[in-house]
């Protein structure tokens, strides 16, 4: 399947908008709701292909999940030891989060499991979780090169560890936390740079013995999780496309409601503000322990910056759209510390550099950095490489370009942002 979009210059974005629920929290709501005792009510669930894949997997593992209405789930938790073996492989689709977190959880079960994914996920590095989980006593066989399919061998004794994730990855950290729940005794997990802490926060709110500060977690094995209510805010990674579009397109003025603004996710707001973007964060509140706010964004003349490397982990999924902002800003933007972008749903440095050059931008790359000189963009034919965030980034770039842009391989946008085209059109983007 290959979906193609056409896009052209917009004359401004307007309105009060809501984006779908946060992808990271939605995956975790299913996982921890399933492992909890009692029922968990989830609202704001992301009806995306990635999170539905995780939901399907837990149904295969014997968990009853009801859908009272769209974006709501009732999960009938089976407790820490209540999952059942699935005879069929567990298909994570395009979702790195699903596959990596499940590897950690499944290596602590009494039964074997097989995790599979689509062509992109089958090329993404799994050694980062396999090696660390094996240090705890887990046993995982992979295709040559440590790629999926993964055969996760159950029935292993897991020991508590003091371990560093080695890479700034919330997925690796979360896989270790899920395994550490089943180890006897206390584990200490550290990371080279703090990453999103939704796993820790959700475990704590459900009553697990865990304490954490940025980059360091202490967790005890052998606790209980208590089901409850989980309200999921809008995904700032999805909001980032509309925020950047509104900053770039003259005449724009939009308000985004109910966006999750966990400090480990707001790097993109800081970066765009450094460029001169007018982004007002207001109506700040807490929802289920997570900071949530409304955002008002007005068109702003953006200037190039040197992106502080410390911001990168806090905007890891927003780098592609940040590159679009840089390609339309005044001056030359430098960004480094970007090596992780090479192992996302596509090689996001290569995908962005090729596409931006096709639209006329001046871009240089090294293995872990880019230099982008802002200027005029023109329409072009763009390959999205079946990567949702590449497709949406170029849909925004096309709103500021002369002529028409043809975007190929946009099918996977439904993994994280179902309804993107309709919402973008209603706000004033020229996209179909």
Binding test (CB under 6 A) with ligand S3P, winner from 51, 94, 97, 346: 97
Q: Which stretch binds ligand S3P (CB under 6 A): 62-70, 170-178, 202-210, 223-231?
A: 170-178
**Residue 346 touches ligand S3P, criterion: CB under 6 A:** no
Residues 157, 175: Cα–Cα separation, whole Å: 16
Binding test (CB under 6 A) with ligand S3P, winner from 10, 169, 238, 266: 169
Binding test (CB under 6 A) with ligand S3P, winner from 256, 268, 316, 380: 316
Q: Which is nearer to ligand S3P, 96 or 267 (CB)?
A: 96
Instruction: Return the bridge partners of 253, or none.
Output: 14, 298
Residue indicated by tokens 């800003």: 329
Q: Which is nearer to ligand S3P, 175 or 424 (CB)?
A: 175
Q: Which is nearer to ligand S3P, 174 or 412 (CB)?
A: 174
Q: How far is the CB of 136 from ligand S3P (least distance, A)?
A: 18
Please work out the total of residues on this chain that contact ligand S3P, with binding judged by CB under 6 A. 11
Binding test (CB under 6 A) with ligand S3P, winner from 13, 19, 24, 370: 24
Residue 347 designated active-site: no
Q: How far is the CB of 122 from ligand S3P (least distance, A)?
A: 16
Q: Which of 50, 314, 317, 409 is catalytic?
A: 317
Residues 362, 94: Cα–Cα separation, whole Å: 31
Q: Which stretch binds ligand S3P (CB under 6 A): 153-161, 165-173, 354-362, 423-431?
A: 165-173
Q: Which is nearer to ligand S3P, 245 or 316 (CB)?
A: 316
Q: Which stretch binds ligand S3P (CB under 6 A): 164-172, 291-299, 392-400, 421-429?
A: 164-172
**Residue 363 touches ligand S3P, criterion: CB under 6 A:** no
Secondary structure of the chain in HEC code, one letter for each residue: CCCCEEEECCCCCEEEECCCECHHHHHHHHHHHHHCECEEEEECCCCCHHHHHHHHHHHHCCCEEECCCCCEEEEECCCCCCCCCCCCCEECCCCHHHHHHHHHHHCCCCCCEEEECCCCHHHCCCHHHHHHHHHCCCEEEEECCCEEEEEEECCCCCCCCEEECCCCCHHHHHHHHHHHCCCCCEEEEECCCCCCCHHHHHHHHCCCCEEEECCEEEEECCCCCECCEEECCECHHHHHHHHHHHHHCCCCEEEEEEEECCCCCCHHHHHHHHCCCEEEEEEEEEECCEEEEEEEEECCCCECCECCHHHHHHHHHHHHHHHHHHHCCECEEEEECCHHHHHCCCCHHHHHHHHHHHCCCEEEEECCEEEEECCCCECCEEECCCCHHHHHHHHHHHHCCECCEEEECCHHHHHCCCCHHHHHHHHCCEEC
Q: Which is nearer to ligand S3P, 118 or 294 (CB)?
A: 118
Q: How far is the CB of 391 from ligand S3P (least distance, A)?
A: 15
Q: How far is the CB of 201 from ligand S3P (least distance, A)?
A: 12
Binding mask 67-96 for ligand S3P (x = CB under 6 A): -----------------------------x
Q: Rule CB under 6 A: which of 185-204 touch ligand S3P?
A: 196
Q: Which is nearer to ligand S3P, 29 or 316 (CB)?
A: 316
Binding test (CB under 6 A) with ligand S3P, winner from 49, 118, 317, 409: 317
**Residue 170 touches ligand S3P, criterion: CB under 6 A:** yes
**Strand 210-213 to 216-220 pairing:** antiparallel
Q: How far is the CB of 169 from ligand S3P (least distance, A)?
A: 3
List residues with catalytic annotation.
317
Binding stretches for ligand S3P (CB under 6 A): 24, 96-97, 169-171, 174, 196, 316-317, 340
């Amino acid at each position: 399947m290959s979906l193609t979009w056409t896009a052209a210059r917009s004359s401004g974005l307007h309105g009060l908008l809501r984006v779908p629920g946060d992808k990271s929290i939605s995956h975790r709501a299913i996982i921890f709701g399933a492992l909890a005792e009692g029922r968990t009510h989830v609202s704001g669930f992301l009806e995306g292909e990635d999170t539905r894949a995780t939901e399907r997997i837990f149904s295969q593992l014997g968990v009853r999940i009801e859908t009272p209405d769209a974006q709501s789930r009732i999960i009938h938790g089976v407790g820490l030891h209540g999952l059942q073996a699935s005879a069929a492989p567990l298909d994570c689709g395009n979702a790195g989060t699903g596959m990596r977190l499940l590897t950690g959880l499944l290596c602590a079960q009494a039964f074997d499991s097989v995790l599979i994914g689509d062509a992109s996920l089958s090329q993404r590095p799994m050694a980062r979780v396999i090696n660390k989980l094996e240090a705890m006593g887990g046993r995982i066989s992979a295709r040559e090169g440590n790629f999926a399919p993964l055969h996760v061998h159950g029935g292993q004794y897991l020991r508590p560890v003091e371990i560093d994730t080695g890479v700034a990855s919330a997925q690796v950290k979360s896989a270790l936390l899920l395994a550490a729940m089943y180890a006897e005794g206390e584990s200490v997990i550290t990371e080279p740079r703090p990453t999103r802490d939704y796993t820790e926060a959700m475990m704590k709110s459900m009553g697990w013995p865990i304490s954490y500060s940025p980059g360091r977690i202490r967790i005890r094995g052998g606790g209980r999780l208590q089901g409850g209510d989980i309200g999921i805010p809008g995904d700032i990674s999805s909001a980032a496309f509309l925020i950047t579009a509104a900053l770039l397109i003259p005449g724009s003025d939009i308000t985004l409601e109910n966006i999750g603004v966990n400090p480990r996710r707001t790097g993109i707001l800081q970066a765009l503000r450094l460029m001169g973007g007018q982004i007002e964060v207001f109506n700040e509140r807490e929802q289920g322990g997570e900071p949530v706010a409304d955002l008002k964004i007005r068109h702003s003349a953006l200037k190039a910056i040197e992106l502080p490397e410390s911001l990168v982990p806090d905007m890891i999924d927003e780098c592609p759209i940040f590159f679009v902002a840089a390609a339309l800003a005044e001056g030359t933007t430098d960004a480094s510390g970007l090596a992780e972008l090479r192992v996302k749903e596509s090689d996001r440095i290569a995908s962005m550099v090729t596409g931006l050059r096709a639209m006329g931008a001046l871009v240089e790359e090294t293995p872990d950095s880019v230099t982008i000189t802002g200027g005029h963009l023109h329409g072009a034919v763009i390959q999205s490489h079946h990567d949702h965030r590449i497709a949406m980034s170029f849909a925004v770039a096309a709103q500021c370009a002369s002529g028409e842009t043809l975007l190929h391989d946009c099918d996977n946008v439904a993994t994280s942002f179902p309804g993107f085209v309709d919402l973008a059109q209603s706000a004033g983007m020229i996209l179909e």
